[in-house]
């Protein structure tokens, strides 16, 4: 008689939610803990999901809800700062011809869809809870939680984000490093006529862009050189972003007039990180931003995190393209690492390179070729 596997997932973002859904579907007992009381259900403006992310969302059983809630499109416009469209490029359908190339969706809406799927899976969810210590032996992990309780698990999946405390707790010393750029983001009403993402290069920022996220919404962003966060009072966020955005034409004047509430404007640095060697120590394994992060120049952050969860779940359940071993040992977790690194490394490096070319003012960089090679790689199943 087989014994049901027990898994603790730390972190309720894209990777953690996806892993929970997939492992529950396989019949495992899964506990998910999330440090924030609101499960990140209200944070953020919008998110761009390319086809390889949509492919995983379909595996999770939530694609139809994402399709209905977001806005799908198949091209991106390149514009001058005054709004003149210079070129329209067709997006690569990295998820296959039966899925849109790209979907924009409000980030809180995507999170709520995933939350509902986690709840429906029957997983045990504990919000406002952290893992304070992990003690491993040959057969599993004993975890002490911030509420004073303890649990015993066959496996711990650390999907607790870019600032992962679990990563440090298991002795992995990698830390995110700023790339030199920062981004302002805001949600706004979608002007009539906006049907795709547009990007303007030049002007007072490196990039000014927007992406439709539904029938009546979009998120807009401007990318500039990073500044000391302490030098920008949060109450001035709307003024800061509006001051940059007002220099752009086309649909930007209509968007800019809605940048008024500093609480709805987000300011974030671009970071890079790639954990080398392995993504596990014993029975604790990293996934998502805890293992890798990169600038959103290719809009692949969430997609890579979702793919991590899919590949790890395939290996843990014996349905992956590897040996399918049911032994949760170093060999299995190294297969996970090697399989993901073949895909993650080129994306991280390309995302960083595109930003660095902009920082260095390289005018003859072949950005389309680099993007084309990277997107062709992502068309293959992870």
Residue 276 pLDDT > 60: yes
pLDDT tens for each residue of 309-355: 999 999 999 864 333 346 899 999 999 999 999 999 999 999 999 99
* CB 154, CB 328: distance < 8 Å: yes
CATH number of 53's domain: 3.50.50.60
In angstroms, rounded to a whole number, what is the distance separating the alpha carbons of residues 27 and 350?
Answer: 38
In angstroms, rounded to a whole number, what is the distance separating the alpha carbons of residues 56 and 43?
Answer: 22
Torsion sign, CA atoms 64, 66, 71, 72: negative
Arithmetic mean of pLDDT, 232-252: 97
pLDDT tens for each residue of 56-67: 999 999 999 999
Arithmetic mean of pLDDT, 34-53: 93
For residue 363, name the pLDDT band (cuts at 50, 70, 90).
confident
* CB 83, CB 248: distance < 8 Å: yes
Arithmetic mean of pLDDT, 255-262: 97
Is position 92 within any domain? Answer: no
Is position 347 within any domain? Answer: yes
List the structure tokens of 14.
Answer: 């894209």
Q: Is 39 left (phi over 0), alpha (psi -120 to 50) or beta?
A: left
Could you give the angle at the alpha carbon of 344 between the alpha carbons of 198 and 375, nearest 5°? 40
Is position 138 within any domain? Answer: yes
Whole-prediction pTM: 0.95
In angstroms, rounded to a whole number, what is the distance separating the alpha carbons of residues 364 and 342?
Answer: 28
Is position 226 within any domain? Answer: no
Beta bridge mates, 9? 32, 157
Residue 192 pLDDT > 50: yes
Matching residue, tokens 């730390």: 10
Could you give the angle at the alpha carbon of 317 between the alpha carbons of 313 and 321, nearest 5°? 75
Q: What is the reported pLDDT for 2?
A: 61
Q: What is the reported pLDDT for 322?
A: 35
Q: What is the reported pLDDT for 326?
A: 63
For residue 40, name the pLDDT band (cuts at 50, 70, 90).
confident
Is position 284 within any domain? Answer: yes
pLDDT tens for each residue of 71-118: 999 999 999 999 999 999 999 999 999 999 999 999 999 999 999 999
Q: Centre a 10 Å sphere on the Cβ of residue 31 and count the other Cβ atoms it contains.
A: 20
pLDDT tens for each residue of 120-135: 999 999 999 999 999 9
List the structure tokens of 3.
Answer: 């014994």
Q: How far is CA 176 from CA 156, 161, 291, 352, in A?
A: 22, 11, 10, 13
Q: What is the reported pLDDT for 139?
A: 87
Average pLDDT, the chain: 94
The two counts, helices (H) then strands (E), for the chain are: 10, 20
Q: How far is CA 65 from CA 52, 54, 60, 113, 304, in A?
A: 17, 11, 11, 7, 20
In angstroms, rounded to a whole number, what is the distance separating the alpha carbons of residues 217 and 262?
Answer: 18
210 CB-contact burial (10 Å; exposed 0-12 / middle 13-18 / buried 19+)? buried
Matching residue, tokens 């969810």: 125
Name the E strands within the chain: 6-10, 29-34, 46-50, 71-73, 75-79, 85-90, 102-106, 124-127, 131-137, 140-145, 150-153, 155-158, 177-189, 197-202, 205-212, 217-225, 265-274, 280-281, 284-286, 292-293
Number of domains observed in the structure of the chain: 1
Is position 214 within any domain? Answer: no
- How much of the chain exceeds pLDDT 90, in percent? 91
Which structural domain range is residue 321 located in?
Answer: 6-69+107-176+272-378
CA 116 from centroid of its chain's CA atoms? 18
158 CB-contact burial (10 Å; exposed 0-12 / middle 13-18 / buried 19+)? buried
- Reduced to 3 states (helix: H, G, I; strand: E, B; else coil), residue 227 is coil
For residue 1, name the pLDDT band (cuts at 50, 70, 90).
very low
In angstroms, rounded to a whole number, what is the distance separating the alpha carbons of residues 11 and 19?
Answer: 10
**Residue 224 or 364, more confident:** 224
| Three-class HEC string of 103-171 | EEEEHHHHHHHHHHHHHHHCCEEEECCCEEEEEEECCEEEEEECCCCEEEECEEEECCCCCCHHHHHCC
Is position 223 within any domain? Answer: no
Is position 98 within any domain? Answer: no
Residue 265 pLDDT > 80: yes
């Amino acid at each position: 008689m087989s014994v049901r596997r027990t898994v603790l997932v730390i972190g309720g973002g894209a990777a953690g939610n996806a892993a929970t859904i997939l492992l529950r579907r396989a019949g495992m007992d899964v506990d998910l803990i999330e440090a924030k009381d609101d499960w990140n259900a209200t944070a953020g403006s919008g998110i761009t999901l390319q086809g390889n992310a949509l492919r995983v969302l379909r595996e999770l059983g939530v694609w139809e809800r994402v399709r209905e809630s977001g806005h799908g499109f198949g091209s991106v416009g390149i514009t001058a700062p005054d709004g003149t469209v210079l070129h329209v490029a067709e997006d690569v359908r990295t998820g296959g011809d039966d899925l849109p190339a790209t979907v924009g969706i409000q980030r809180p809406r995507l999170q709520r869809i995933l939350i509902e799927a986690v709840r429906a899976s029957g997983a045990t969810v504990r919000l406002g809870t952290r893992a304070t210590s992990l003690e491993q032996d040959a057969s599993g992990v004993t975890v002490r939680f911030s509420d004073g309780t303890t649990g015993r698990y066959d496996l711990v999946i650390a999907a607790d984000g870019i600032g992962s405390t679990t990563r440090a707790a298991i002795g992995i010393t990698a830390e995110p490093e700023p790339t030199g750029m920062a981004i302002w983001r805001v949600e706004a009403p979608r002007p009539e006529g906006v049907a795709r993402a547009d990007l303007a290069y030049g002007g007072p920022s490196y990039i000014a862009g927007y992406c439709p996220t539904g029938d009546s919404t979009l998120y807009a962003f401007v990318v500039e050189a990073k500044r000391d966060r302490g030098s920008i009072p949060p109450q001035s966020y709307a003024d800061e972003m509006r001051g940059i955005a007002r220099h752009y034409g086309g649909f930007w004047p209509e968007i800019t007039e809605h940048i008024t509430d500093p609480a709805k404007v987000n300011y974030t640095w671009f970071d890079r990180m790639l954990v080398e060697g392995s993504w596990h120590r014993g029975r604790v394994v990293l996934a998502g931003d805890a293992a890798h992060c990169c600038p959103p120049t290719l809009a692949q952050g969430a997609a890579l995190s979702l793919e991590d969860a899919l590949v790890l779940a395939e290996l843990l359940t014996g349905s992956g393209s590897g040996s399918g071993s049911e032994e949760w040992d170093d060999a299995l977790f190294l297969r996970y690492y090697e399989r993901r690194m073949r895909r993650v490394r080129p994306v991280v490096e390309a995302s960083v390179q595109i930003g660095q070319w902009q920082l260095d003012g390289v005018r003859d960089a072949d950005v389309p070729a680099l993007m084309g090679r990277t997107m062709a790689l992502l068309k293959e199943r992870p």
